[in-house]
Amino acid sequence: MKFINNLFRKIKNRFDNVWVDTYPWYWHIANFIGGLICAIFFVVTQHQYSTGTKVGLFFAIAAIGYLFMLAFTYGIVRARNGWTKKKKVTSPNKKVALNIFAII
């Protein structure tokens, strides 16, 4: 039982420490565009469905494509945040500003 408690504590600490930034709003636009591209590709390549069916499939596949893109970009954002938290990367501008204040 102690092993399971330690395992859950490690997993919780890992996720608490990794997620330091919110999901950027502009990635939703990229996800939406990616979903539209998936839907357009599907509708253009299909010739056996009627127009009404293609319209319905377009919106359904656009929504599914959005969800796939959201899952993909969410993983990218989370991995990026985990890497920057682990490596403690700071921007060069921030280091310059800190050095200027240290001189003053």
Delimit the domains of the chain by residue range. Answer: 22-103
pLDDT value for 17: 56
Non-local (6+) Cβ contacts of 64 within 8 A are: 35, 38
DSSP E strands, 1-104: none
Residue 104: pLDDT above 50? Answer: no
pLDDT value for 39: 92
Tens digit of each residue's pLDDT (9 = 90 or more) over 18-32: 555 567 778 889 899
Angle, vertex CA 75, rays to CA 32 and CA 10, nearest 5: 150
Tens digit of each residue's pLDDT (9 = 90 or more) over 24-82: 778 889 899 999 999 999 889 988 888 888 899 999 999 999 999 988 888 777 776 65
